Protein backbone atom coordinates (compact mmCIF):
# COMPACT_ATOMS: atom_id res chain seq x y z
CA UNK A 1 0.00 0.00 0.00
CA UNK A 2 1.50 3.33 -1.11
CA UNK A 3 0.72 6.40 0.99
CA UNK A 4 1.72 10.05 1.23
CA UNK A 5 2.86 10.41 4.86
CA UNK A 6 3.76 14.10 5.21
CA UNK A 7 1.75 16.98 3.76
CA UNK A 8 0.25 20.30 4.83
CA UNK A 9 -3.02 21.97 3.87
CA UNK A 10 -3.96 25.62 3.51
CA UNK A 11 -6.89 24.98 5.86
CA UNK A 12 -4.76 24.19 8.92
CA UNK A 13 -1.11 25.10 8.17
CA UNK A 14 -0.31 28.75 7.49
CA UNK A 15 2.81 27.70 5.54
CA UNK A 16 0.84 25.78 2.90
CA UNK A 17 -0.62 27.10 -0.35
CA UNK A 18 -2.59 24.00 -1.33
CA UNK A 19 -6.09 23.08 -0.22
CA UNK A 20 -6.76 19.64 1.21
CA UNK A 21 -9.02 18.80 -1.74
CA UNK A 22 -6.35 19.72 -4.32
CA UNK A 23 -3.72 17.83 -2.36
CA UNK A 24 -5.63 14.57 -2.01
CA UNK A 25 -6.90 14.69 -5.61
CA UNK A 26 -3.36 15.14 -6.97
CA UNK A 27 -2.00 12.31 -4.81
CA UNK A 28 -4.75 10.03 -6.14
CA UNK A 29 -3.96 11.02 -9.74
CA UNK A 30 -0.30 10.18 -9.16
CA UNK A 31 -1.22 6.61 -8.31
CA UNK A 32 -1.06 6.74 -4.51
CA UNK A 33 -3.54 4.73 -2.44
CA UNK A 34 -3.92 7.11 0.44
CA UNK A 35 -2.98 10.45 2.00
CA UNK A 36 -2.10 11.10 5.63
CA UNK A 37 -2.62 14.78 6.45
CA UNK A 38 0.04 16.07 8.86
CA UNK A 39 -0.74 19.71 9.57
CA UNK A 40 1.21 21.46 12.30
CA UNK A 41 -0.27 20.66 15.70
CA UNK A 42 -3.66 19.84 14.24
CA UNK A 43 -5.58 16.57 14.14
CA UNK A 44 -8.33 16.32 11.54
CA UNK A 45 -11.43 14.89 13.28
CA UNK A 46 -13.45 12.21 11.45
CA UNK A 47 -16.31 14.54 10.56
CA UNK A 48 -13.93 16.98 8.83
CA UNK A 49 -12.32 14.20 6.80
CA UNK A 50 -15.77 13.01 5.71
CA UNK A 51 -16.65 16.54 4.61
CA UNK A 52 -13.39 16.65 2.64
CA UNK A 53 -14.13 13.31 0.98
CA UNK A 54 -17.47 14.60 -0.34
CA UNK A 55 -15.58 17.25 -2.34
CA UNK A 56 -13.38 14.71 -4.09
CA UNK A 57 -13.53 12.41 -7.08
CA UNK A 58 -11.73 9.50 -5.45
CA UNK A 59 -13.06 5.99 -4.76
CA UNK A 60 -14.21 4.99 -1.30
CA UNK A 61 -11.24 2.69 -0.83
CA UNK A 62 -8.79 5.61 -1.16
CA UNK A 63 -7.51 6.25 2.38
CA UNK A 64 -7.63 9.72 3.94
CA UNK A 65 -6.17 9.75 7.45
CA UNK A 66 -4.81 12.33 9.87
CA UNK A 67 -1.53 12.48 11.71
CA UNK A 68 0.21 15.73 12.69
CA UNK A 69 3.60 17.39 12.81
CA UNK A 70 4.68 18.41 16.28
CA UNK A 71 7.68 20.50 17.35
CA UNK A 72 9.41 18.89 20.34
CA UNK A 73 12.27 20.13 22.55
CA UNK A 74 14.30 16.94 22.07
CA UNK A 75 14.43 16.41 18.28
CA UNK A 76 12.57 19.32 16.74
CA UNK A 77 9.83 18.27 14.29
CA UNK A 78 8.21 14.88 14.81
CA UNK A 79 5.45 13.22 12.77
CA UNK A 80 2.89 11.68 15.09
CA UNK A 81 0.57 8.94 13.80
CA UNK A 82 -2.13 7.54 16.07
CA UNK A 83 -2.96 10.49 18.35
CA UNK A 84 -6.69 11.26 18.39
CA UNK A 85 -6.39 14.96 19.32
CA UNK A 86 -4.18 17.94 18.52
CA UNK A 87 -0.85 18.26 20.33
CA UNK A 88 0.54 21.63 21.41
CA UNK A 89 3.86 22.96 20.13
CA UNK A 90 6.72 22.24 22.52
CA UNK A 91 5.21 19.08 23.96
CA UNK A 92 8.01 16.68 24.97
CA UNK A 93 8.48 13.21 23.58
CA UNK A 94 7.79 11.52 26.95
CA UNK A 95 4.52 13.47 27.28
CA UNK A 96 3.39 12.48 23.76
CA UNK A 97 4.18 8.82 24.46
CA UNK A 98 2.39 8.94 27.80
CA UNK A 99 -0.77 10.49 26.32
CA UNK A 100 -0.83 8.30 23.21
CA UNK A 101 0.95 5.01 24.02
CA UNK A 102 -0.11 3.39 20.72
CA UNK A 103 1.10 6.22 18.51
CA UNK A 104 4.09 5.97 16.17
CA UNK A 105 6.61 8.83 16.22
CA UNK A 106 8.83 9.54 13.22
CA UNK A 107 11.66 12.07 13.16
CA UNK A 108 10.84 14.52 10.32
CA UNK A 109 13.52 15.72 7.85
CA UNK A 110 16.45 15.10 10.24
CA UNK A 111 19.09 15.66 7.52
CA UNK A 112 17.82 19.13 6.61
CA UNK A 113 20.29 22.03 6.53
CA UNK A 114 23.27 19.65 6.17
CA UNK A 115 22.59 18.12 9.57
CA UNK A 116 24.33 14.82 10.27
CA UNK A 117 22.21 13.03 12.90
CA UNK A 118 24.29 10.98 15.35
CA UNK A 119 23.51 7.30 15.65
CA UNK A 120 22.14 7.61 19.21
CA UNK A 121 19.50 10.08 18.01
CA UNK A 122 18.56 7.92 15.03
CA UNK A 123 17.84 5.19 17.59
CA UNK A 124 16.21 7.45 20.18
CA UNK A 125 14.14 5.11 22.40
CA UNK A 126 10.96 7.18 22.00
CA UNK A 127 10.82 7.38 18.22
CA UNK A 128 9.81 4.60 15.85
CA UNK A 129 11.22 5.71 12.50
CA UNK A 130 13.23 8.20 10.47
CA UNK A 131 12.06 10.22 7.45
CA UNK A 132 14.98 9.85 5.02
CA UNK A 133 13.41 11.33 1.86
CA UNK A 134 11.78 14.75 2.09
CA UNK A 135 11.41 17.72 -0.27
CA UNK A 136 13.13 19.85 2.39
CA UNK A 137 16.24 17.71 2.04
CA UNK A 138 18.68 18.45 -0.72
CA UNK A 139 19.45 15.48 -2.95
CA UNK A 140 22.78 15.10 -1.14
CA UNK A 141 21.00 15.11 2.23
CA UNK A 142 18.53 12.46 1.08
CA UNK A 143 21.44 10.38 -0.21
CA UNK A 144 23.02 10.62 3.23
CA UNK A 145 19.75 9.44 4.78
CA UNK A 146 19.67 6.50 2.37
CA UNK A 147 23.25 5.63 3.26
CA UNK A 148 22.47 5.68 6.99
CA UNK A 149 19.36 3.53 6.44
CA UNK A 150 21.45 0.92 4.67
CA UNK A 151 24.16 1.13 7.31
CA UNK A 152 22.05 1.12 10.50
CA UNK A 153 18.88 -0.64 9.31
CA UNK A 154 16.39 1.54 11.23
CA UNK A 155 12.74 1.85 10.20
CA UNK A 156 12.42 4.54 7.54
CA UNK A 157 9.67 6.36 5.68
CA UNK A 158 9.51 9.02 2.98
CA UNK A 159 7.37 12.14 3.07
CA UNK A 160 6.90 14.86 0.49
CA UNK A 161 6.26 17.60 3.07
CA UNK A 162 3.89 19.12 0.55
CA UNK A 163 3.11 22.84 0.69
CA UNK A 164 2.23 23.39 -2.99
CA UNK A 165 0.53 21.49 -5.80
CA UNK A 166 3.56 21.27 -8.12
CA UNK A 167 5.41 18.57 -6.16
CA UNK A 168 2.57 16.78 -4.33
CA UNK A 169 3.05 13.05 -3.94
CA UNK A 170 6.74 13.02 -4.85
CA UNK A 171 8.04 10.94 -1.91
CA UNK A 172 5.50 8.29 -0.84
CA UNK A 173 5.93 5.39 1.57
CA UNK A 174 5.15 1.74 0.93
CA UNK A 175 3.48 -0.46 3.57
CA UNK A 176 3.77 -4.24 3.53
CA UNK A 177 0.09 -4.68 4.47
CA UNK A 178 -3.08 -2.66 3.78
CA UNK A 179 -4.26 -0.34 6.55
CA UNK A 180 -7.66 1.23 7.04
CA UNK A 181 -7.21 3.31 10.19
CA UNK A 182 -4.54 5.57 11.66
CA UNK A 183 -4.15 3.07 14.52
CA UNK A 184 -3.33 0.27 12.08
CA UNK A 185 -0.88 2.53 10.28
CA UNK A 186 0.85 3.38 13.57
CA UNK A 187 1.12 -0.31 14.43
CA UNK A 188 2.74 -1.07 11.07
CA UNK A 189 5.34 1.67 11.59
CA UNK A 190 6.08 0.44 15.11
CA UNK A 191 6.56 -3.06 13.70
CA UNK A 192 8.89 -1.77 10.97
CA UNK A 193 6.68 -2.97 8.11
CA UNK A 194 7.15 0.09 5.88
CA UNK A 195 9.82 1.71 3.73
CA UNK A 196 10.25 4.64 1.33
CA UNK A 197 8.71 3.86 -2.05
CA UNK A 198 11.53 3.92 -4.58
CA UNK A 199 13.62 1.70 -6.82
CA UNK A 200 17.31 1.36 -6.15
CA UNK A 201 19.14 -0.11 -9.15
CA UNK A 202 22.85 -0.96 -9.06
CA UNK A 203 24.61 0.31 -12.15
CA UNK A 204 28.14 -0.03 -13.45
CA UNK A 205 30.87 0.49 -10.92
CA UNK A 206 34.52 -0.13 -10.10
CA UNK A 207 36.48 -1.14 -7.03
CA UNK A 208 36.62 2.55 -6.11
CA UNK A 209 33.08 3.58 -7.01
CA UNK A 210 29.58 2.18 -6.54
CA UNK A 211 26.97 3.63 -8.91
CA UNK A 212 23.29 3.46 -8.04
CA UNK A 213 20.24 4.83 -9.82
CA UNK A 214 17.28 5.90 -7.68
CA UNK A 215 13.77 6.25 -9.07
CA UNK A 216 11.50 7.96 -6.56
CA UNK A 217 7.73 8.06 -6.29
CA UNK A 218 5.08 6.84 -8.68
CA UNK A 219 4.68 7.63 -12.36
CA UNK A 220 1.03 8.66 -12.56
CA UNK A 221 -0.62 10.73 -15.32
CA UNK A 222 2.15 9.94 -17.79
CA UNK A 223 4.75 11.80 -15.70
CA UNK A 224 8.29 10.51 -15.38
CA UNK A 225 9.55 9.53 -11.95
CA UNK A 226 12.40 11.49 -10.44
CA UNK A 227 15.73 9.82 -11.15
CA UNK A 228 19.09 10.34 -9.50
CA UNK A 229 22.49 8.78 -10.07
CA UNK A 230 24.46 8.41 -6.84
CA UNK A 231 28.16 7.64 -7.12
CA UNK A 232 29.59 6.50 -3.81
CA UNK A 233 33.39 6.49 -3.64
CA UNK A 234 35.70 4.43 -1.47
CA UNK A 235 38.65 6.82 -1.53
CA UNK A 236 39.22 10.54 -1.35
CA UNK A 237 41.15 10.37 -4.64
CA UNK A 238 38.20 8.79 -6.43
CA UNK A 239 35.81 11.31 -4.88
CA UNK A 240 38.05 14.23 -5.91
CA UNK A 241 37.94 12.96 -9.49
CA UNK A 242 34.13 12.89 -9.25
CA UNK A 243 33.99 16.51 -8.09
CA UNK A 244 36.14 17.42 -11.09
CA UNK A 245 33.54 15.75 -13.32
CA UNK A 246 30.70 17.68 -11.65
CA UNK A 247 32.63 20.91 -12.19
CA UNK A 248 32.82 20.15 -15.93
CA UNK A 249 29.11 19.29 -16.06
CA UNK A 250 28.23 22.50 -14.22
CA UNK A 251 30.21 24.45 -16.83
CA UNK A 252 28.38 22.74 -19.68
CA UNK A 253 25.02 23.27 -17.98
CA UNK A 254 25.72 27.00 -17.80
CA UNK A 255 26.17 27.00 -21.57
CA UNK A 256 22.78 25.53 -22.36
CA UNK A 257 23.18 21.75 -22.23
CA UNK A 258 20.21 21.35 -19.91
CA UNK A 259 16.95 21.56 -21.82
CA UNK A 260 15.56 21.34 -25.32
CA UNK A 261 17.18 18.91 -27.80
CA UNK A 262 20.76 18.70 -26.48
CA UNK A 263 21.34 17.77 -22.85
CA UNK A 264 23.59 16.46 -20.14
CA UNK A 265 22.55 15.16 -16.71
CA UNK A 266 22.07 18.01 -14.28
CA UNK A 267 24.80 17.97 -11.61
CA UNK A 268 23.05 17.91 -8.23
CA UNK A 269 25.91 18.22 -5.77
CA UNK A 270 28.17 16.15 -3.62
CA UNK A 271 28.68 15.11 -0.01
CA UNK A 272 32.29 15.13 1.15
CA UNK A 273 31.51 13.34 4.40
CA UNK A 274 29.86 10.49 2.52
CA UNK A 275 32.24 10.68 -0.47
CA UNK A 276 29.25 10.78 -2.81
CA UNK A 277 28.57 12.74 -5.99
CA UNK A 278 25.05 13.03 -7.36
CA UNK A 279 23.64 13.86 -10.76
CA UNK A 280 20.25 13.77 -12.44
CA UNK A 281 19.18 10.50 -13.98
CA UNK A 282 17.88 10.87 -17.55
CA UNK A 283 15.12 8.68 -18.95
CA UNK A 284 16.02 7.30 -22.34
CA UNK A 285 17.58 4.46 -24.31
CA UNK A 286 21.20 4.35 -25.37
CA UNK A 287 21.99 5.20 -28.97
CA UNK A 288 23.38 1.68 -29.26
CA UNK A 289 20.03 0.11 -28.30
CA UNK A 290 18.13 2.49 -30.54
CA UNK A 291 20.27 1.75 -33.58
CA UNK A 292 19.98 -2.01 -33.14
CA UNK A 293 16.31 -2.01 -34.10
CA UNK A 294 15.70 1.37 -35.72
CA UNK A 295 14.30 1.73 -39.22
CA UNK A 296 16.75 3.44 -41.62
CA UNK A 297 15.04 6.83 -41.33
CA UNK A 298 15.02 6.67 -37.53
CA UNK A 299 18.66 5.59 -37.40
CA UNK A 300 19.64 8.55 -39.57
CA UNK A 301 17.74 10.95 -37.31
CA UNK A 302 19.41 9.61 -34.15
CA UNK A 303 22.89 9.73 -35.67
CA UNK A 304 22.38 13.24 -37.02
CA UNK A 305 21.19 14.48 -33.62
CA UNK A 306 24.19 12.86 -31.95
CA UNK A 307 26.59 14.55 -34.38
CA UNK A 308 24.81 17.88 -33.85
CA UNK A 309 25.20 17.49 -30.07
CA UNK A 310 28.94 17.02 -30.44
CA UNK A 311 29.38 19.83 -32.96
CA UNK A 312 27.49 22.18 -30.66
CA UNK A 313 29.87 21.33 -27.80
CA UNK A 314 32.98 21.85 -29.92
CA UNK A 315 31.68 25.06 -31.53
CA UNK A 316 31.53 26.69 -28.09
CA UNK A 317 35.33 26.35 -27.80
CA UNK A 318 35.16 26.02 -24.02
CA UNK A 319 38.20 25.27 -21.90
CA UNK A 320 36.71 24.33 -18.54
CA UNK A 321 39.77 22.21 -17.65
CA UNK A 322 43.37 23.35 -18.30
CA UNK A 323 44.35 22.92 -21.97
CA UNK A 324 47.67 21.22 -21.07
CA UNK A 325 46.04 18.58 -18.84
CA UNK A 326 45.26 16.11 -21.65
CA UNK A 327 48.81 15.97 -23.04
CA UNK A 328 50.24 15.77 -19.52
CA UNK A 329 48.08 12.77 -18.54
CA UNK A 330 48.06 11.02 -21.91
CA UNK A 331 51.24 8.86 -21.56
CA UNK A 332 50.03 7.36 -18.29
CA UNK A 333 46.64 6.49 -19.81
CA UNK A 334 48.11 4.79 -22.86
CA UNK A 335 50.72 2.94 -20.83
CA UNK A 336 47.91 1.53 -18.70
CA UNK A 337 46.30 0.15 -21.87
CA UNK A 338 49.61 -1.41 -22.95
CA UNK A 339 50.20 -2.95 -19.51
CA UNK A 340 47.23 -5.24 -20.15
CA UNK A 341 49.05 -6.68 -23.19
CA UNK A 342 52.16 -7.30 -21.11
CA UNK A 343 50.26 -8.99 -18.29
CA UNK A 344 48.82 -11.62 -20.62
CA UNK A 345 52.01 -11.88 -22.68
CA UNK A 346 49.95 -11.03 -25.74
CA UNK A 347 51.26 -11.78 -29.23
CA UNK A 348 50.02 -8.29 -30.19
CA UNK A 349 52.08 -6.37 -27.61
CA UNK A 350 54.66 -5.01 -30.07
CA UNK A 351 51.94 -3.92 -32.49
CA UNK A 352 50.07 -2.11 -29.68
CA UNK A 353 53.28 -0.41 -28.49
CA UNK A 354 54.01 0.88 -31.99
CA UNK A 355 50.52 2.35 -32.23
CA UNK A 356 50.95 3.98 -28.81
CA UNK A 357 54.33 5.50 -29.70
CA UNK A 358 53.03 6.90 -32.99
CA UNK A 359 50.00 8.42 -31.27
CA UNK A 360 52.07 9.99 -28.47
CA UNK A 361 54.67 11.44 -30.86
CA UNK A 362 52.02 12.92 -33.13
CA UNK A 363 49.99 14.37 -30.26
CA UNK A 364 53.09 15.96 -28.73
CA UNK A 365 54.23 17.51 -32.01
CA UNK A 366 50.81 18.96 -32.87
CA UNK A 367 49.37 20.06 -29.54
CA UNK A 368 52.05 20.62 -26.89
CA UNK A 369 52.68 24.19 -28.01
CA UNK A 370 49.22 24.90 -29.33
CA UNK A 371 46.74 25.08 -26.42
CA UNK A 372 44.44 27.17 -28.60
CA UNK A 373 43.60 24.01 -30.57
CA UNK A 374 42.04 22.41 -27.52
CA UNK A 375 38.31 22.65 -26.72
CA UNK A 376 36.37 20.97 -23.96
CA UNK A 377 35.40 17.53 -25.22
CA UNK A 378 33.53 14.56 -23.91
CA UNK A 379 36.50 12.18 -23.89
CA UNK A 380 34.54 8.92 -24.16
CA UNK A 381 31.94 9.71 -26.81
CA UNK A 382 30.37 6.48 -28.04
CA UNK A 383 26.87 5.00 -28.62
CA UNK A 384 26.50 3.57 -25.10
CA UNK A 385 27.21 6.97 -23.56
CA UNK A 386 24.49 8.67 -25.62
CA UNK A 387 20.84 8.60 -24.54
CA UNK A 388 17.91 9.19 -26.87
CA UNK A 389 14.78 10.22 -25.00
CA UNK A 390 11.41 11.85 -25.37
CA UNK A 391 9.78 14.18 -22.86
CA UNK A 392 6.37 13.14 -24.14
CA UNK A 393 5.96 9.67 -25.66
CA UNK A 394 3.29 10.98 -28.06
CA UNK A 395 5.16 14.12 -29.12
CA UNK A 396 7.90 13.75 -31.76
CA UNK A 397 9.28 17.30 -31.29
CA UNK A 398 10.08 16.40 -27.67
CA UNK A 399 12.86 14.05 -28.85
CA UNK A 400 16.23 14.86 -27.28
CA UNK A 401 19.78 13.53 -27.14
CA UNK A 402 21.87 13.54 -23.96
CA UNK A 403 25.48 12.59 -23.35
CA UNK A 404 26.41 10.95 -20.05
CA UNK A 405 29.64 9.92 -18.26
CA UNK A 406 32.01 12.91 -18.35
CA UNK A 407 34.70 11.26 -16.22
CA UNK A 408 37.13 11.34 -19.18
CA UNK A 409 36.38 14.91 -20.27
CA UNK A 410 39.37 17.12 -21.05
CA UNK A 411 40.18 20.08 -23.23
CA UNK A 412 40.85 18.06 -26.40
CA UNK A 413 41.35 18.43 -30.13
CA UNK A 414 37.81 18.25 -31.61
CA UNK A 415 38.95 15.36 -33.80
CA UNK A 416 39.46 13.26 -30.63
CA UNK A 417 35.74 12.83 -29.90
CA UNK A 418 34.94 12.22 -33.57
CA UNK A 419 37.64 9.57 -33.93
CA UNK A 420 36.55 7.91 -30.70
CA UNK A 421 32.94 7.72 -31.84
CA UNK A 422 33.79 6.30 -35.26
CA UNK A 423 36.08 3.62 -33.81
CA UNK A 424 33.60 2.66 -31.10
CA UNK A 425 30.54 2.48 -33.34
CA UNK A 426 32.44 0.23 -35.74
CA UNK A 427 33.51 -2.04 -32.90
CA UNK A 428 30.15 -2.13 -31.11
CA UNK A 429 28.22 -2.99 -34.27
CA UNK A 430 30.83 -5.17 -35.95
CA UNK A 431 28.92 -8.42 -35.31
CA UNK A 432 25.41 -7.00 -35.73
CA UNK A 433 24.04 -8.18 -39.04
CA UNK A 434 20.99 -5.91 -38.94
CA UNK A 435 23.11 -2.81 -38.35
CA UNK A 436 25.39 -1.12 -40.85
CA UNK A 437 28.43 0.35 -39.05
CA UNK A 438 29.91 1.88 -42.21
CA UNK A 439 26.66 3.66 -43.02
CA UNK A 440 26.41 4.84 -39.41
CA UNK A 441 29.96 6.23 -39.57
CA UNK A 442 29.28 8.13 -42.80
CA UNK A 443 26.03 9.71 -41.56
CA UNK A 444 27.65 10.81 -38.31
CA UNK A 445 30.80 12.23 -39.92
CA UNK A 446 28.97 14.07 -42.70
CA UNK A 447 26.57 15.67 -40.25
CA UNK A 448 29.35 16.69 -37.90
CA UNK A 449 31.29 18.34 -40.72
CA UNK A 450 28.16 20.23 -41.81
CA UNK A 451 27.55 21.53 -38.28
CA UNK A 452 31.11 22.15 -37.07
CA UNK A 453 32.47 25.66 -37.52
CA UNK A 454 36.02 26.36 -38.63
CA UNK A 455 37.28 22.78 -38.80
CA UNK A 456 41.05 22.88 -39.27
CA UNK A 457 42.72 21.65 -42.45
CA UNK A 458 44.17 18.57 -40.78
CA UNK A 459 40.89 17.60 -39.11
CA UNK A 460 40.20 14.40 -41.08
CA UNK A 461 43.76 13.01 -40.80
CA UNK A 462 43.58 13.64 -37.03
CA UNK A 463 40.28 11.79 -36.87
CA UNK A 464 42.21 8.76 -38.18
CA UNK A 465 44.88 9.31 -35.53
CA UNK A 466 42.32 9.24 -32.75
CA UNK A 467 40.51 6.29 -34.26
CA UNK A 468 43.80 4.44 -33.91
CA UNK A 469 44.25 5.68 -30.36
CA UNK A 470 40.77 4.42 -29.46
CA UNK A 471 41.79 0.98 -30.72
CA UNK A 472 44.08 0.74 -27.68
CA UNK A 473 41.18 1.54 -25.35
CA UNK A 474 38.99 -1.03 -27.09
CA UNK A 475 41.77 -3.64 -26.90
CA UNK A 476 42.23 -2.93 -23.19
CA UNK A 477 38.53 -3.58 -22.65
CA UNK A 478 38.60 -6.80 -24.70
CA UNK A 479 41.51 -8.11 -22.64
CA UNK A 480 39.71 -7.22 -19.39
CA UNK A 481 36.64 -9.26 -20.39
CA UNK A 482 38.66 -12.30 -21.47
CA UNK A 483 38.80 -11.64 -25.22
CA UNK A 484 42.50 -10.89 -25.45
CA UNK A 485 43.09 -13.69 -27.96
CA UNK A 486 39.98 -12.99 -30.03
CA UNK A 487 39.97 -12.26 -33.74
CA UNK A 488 38.15 -9.03 -32.92
CA UNK A 489 41.14 -7.67 -30.98
CA UNK A 490 43.48 -8.52 -33.87
CA UNK A 491 41.13 -6.80 -36.32
CA UNK A 492 40.96 -3.66 -34.17
CA UNK A 493 44.74 -3.32 -34.08
CA UNK A 494 45.26 -4.06 -37.78
CA UNK A 495 42.68 -1.43 -38.75
CA UNK A 496 44.47 1.02 -36.46
CA UNK A 497 47.77 0.30 -38.21
CA UNK A 498 46.19 0.85 -41.61
CA UNK A 499 44.73 4.16 -40.43
CA UNK A 500 48.11 5.36 -39.14
CA UNK A 501 49.83 4.23 -42.34
CA UNK A 502 47.36 6.30 -44.35
CA UNK A 503 48.02 9.23 -42.03
CA UNK A 504 51.79 8.90 -42.63
CA UNK A 505 51.30 8.85 -46.41
CA UNK A 506 49.18 12.00 -46.23
CA UNK A 507 51.84 13.68 -44.10
CA UNK A 508 54.55 12.77 -46.63
CA UNK A 509 52.42 14.08 -49.51
CA UNK A 510 51.89 17.32 -47.63
CA UNK A 511 55.63 17.73 -46.98
CA UNK A 512 56.41 16.93 -50.64
CA UNK A 513 53.83 19.51 -51.80
CA UNK A 514 55.27 22.12 -49.46
CA UNK A 515 58.82 21.33 -50.62
CA UNK A 516 57.82 21.49 -54.30
CA UNK A 517 56.04 24.75 -53.75
CA UNK A 518 59.06 26.26 -52.04
CA UNK A 519 61.34 25.11 -54.88
CA UNK A 520 59.07 26.65 -57.49
CA UNK A 521 59.08 29.89 -55.53
CA UNK A 522 62.88 29.94 -55.53
CA UNK A 523 63.21 29.17 -59.24
CA UNK A 524 60.19 31.08 -60.45
pLDDT of 466-515, one tens digit each? 999 999 999 999 999 999 999 999 999 999 998 888 676 555 455 444 44
Largest CA distance in the chain: 108
Pick the closest to residue 415 from 447, 375, 384, 382 (CA basis): 375
CA torsion through residues 91, 97, 103, 109, sign: positive
> Looking at the DSSP assignment, which residues form a beta bridge with residue 71?
77
What is the C-alpha separation between 429 and 431, in angstroms, rounded?
6
Quick check: pTM over 0.85?
no
**pLDDT attached to residue 433:** 61
What is the C-alpha separation between 9 and 1, in angstroms, rounded?
23
- Burial class of 222 by CB neighbour count within 10 A (0 to 12, 13 to 18, 19+): exposed
Q: Which pLDDT tens digit goes with each residue over 164-197?
A: 998 999 999 999 999 999 999 999 999 999 999 9
**pLDDT attached to residue 514:** 46
Task: Provide the terminal-to-terminal Cα distance of the chain, rounded to the nearest Å.
Answer: 91
Query: Could you tell me if 175 and 193 are in contact, meaning their C-beta atoms sit under 8 angstroms apart?
Result: yes
Pick the closest to residue 263 from 404, 414, 115, 436 (CA basis): 404
CA torsion through residues 168, 169, 172, 178, sign: positive
Collapse the DSSP code of 317 into the 3-class scheme (helix H, G, I; strand E, B; otherwise coil) and give the result: coil
What's the mean pLDDT when you consider all of the chain?
89
Query: Could you tell me if 149 and 8 are in contact, meaning their C-beta atoms sit under 8 angstroms apart?
Result: no
What is the C-alpha separation between 333 and 325, in angstroms, rounded?
12
Order of strands, sheet of 76-81, starting from the edge strand that comes earlier in the sequence: 68-72, 76-81, 104-107, 129-134, 156-159
Per this entry, what is the length of the chain?
Answer: 524
Intervals of the chain under pLDDT 50: 222, 508, 511-516, 518-524
What is the C-alpha separation between 54 and 21, in angstroms, rounded?
10
Order of strands, sheet of 276-280, starting from the edge strand that comes earlier in the sequence: 198-202, 209-216, 226-233, 276-280, 267-271
- Residue 419 burial (CB count, 10 A): 24
3-state DSSP helix/strand/coil % of the chain, to nearest 5: 45, 20, 35
**pLDDT attached to residue 512:** 43
Give, to the nearest 10 degrees, the angle between helix 414-428 and helix 296-315. 160
Q: What percent of the chain clears pLDDT 70, i.e. is strictly above it?
A: 92
Collapse the DSSP code of 313 into the 3-class scheme (helix H, G, I; strand E, B; otherwise coil) and give the result: helix
What is the C-alpha separation between 278 and 270, in angstroms, rounded?
6
Collapse the DSSP code of 303 into the 3-class scheme (helix H, G, I; strand E, B; otherwise coil) and give the result: helix
| 99 Cβ contact list (under 8 Å, min separation 6) | 83, 87
Long-range contact set of residues 83-90: C-beta below 8 Å, sequence gap at least 24? 83/43, 84/43, 85/43, 86/41, 86/42, 86/43, 87/41, 87/43, 88/41, 89/40, 89/41
Amino acid sequence: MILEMHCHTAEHSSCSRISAAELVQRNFEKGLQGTVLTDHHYFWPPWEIEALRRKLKVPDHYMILSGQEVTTPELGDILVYGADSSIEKGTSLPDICARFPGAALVWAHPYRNENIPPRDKLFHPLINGIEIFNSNHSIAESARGLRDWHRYKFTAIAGTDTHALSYAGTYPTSFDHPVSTIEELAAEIRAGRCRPFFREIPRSGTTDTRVTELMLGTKGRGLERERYIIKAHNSIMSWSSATRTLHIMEGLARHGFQTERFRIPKPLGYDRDGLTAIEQGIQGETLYDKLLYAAPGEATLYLRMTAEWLARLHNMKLQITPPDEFIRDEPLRLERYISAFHKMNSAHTRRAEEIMNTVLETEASLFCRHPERMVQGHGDFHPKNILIGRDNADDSPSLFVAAIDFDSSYALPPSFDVGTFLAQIRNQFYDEEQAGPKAFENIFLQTYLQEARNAESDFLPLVELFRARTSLSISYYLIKVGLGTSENLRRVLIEAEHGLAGLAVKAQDRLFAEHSGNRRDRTG
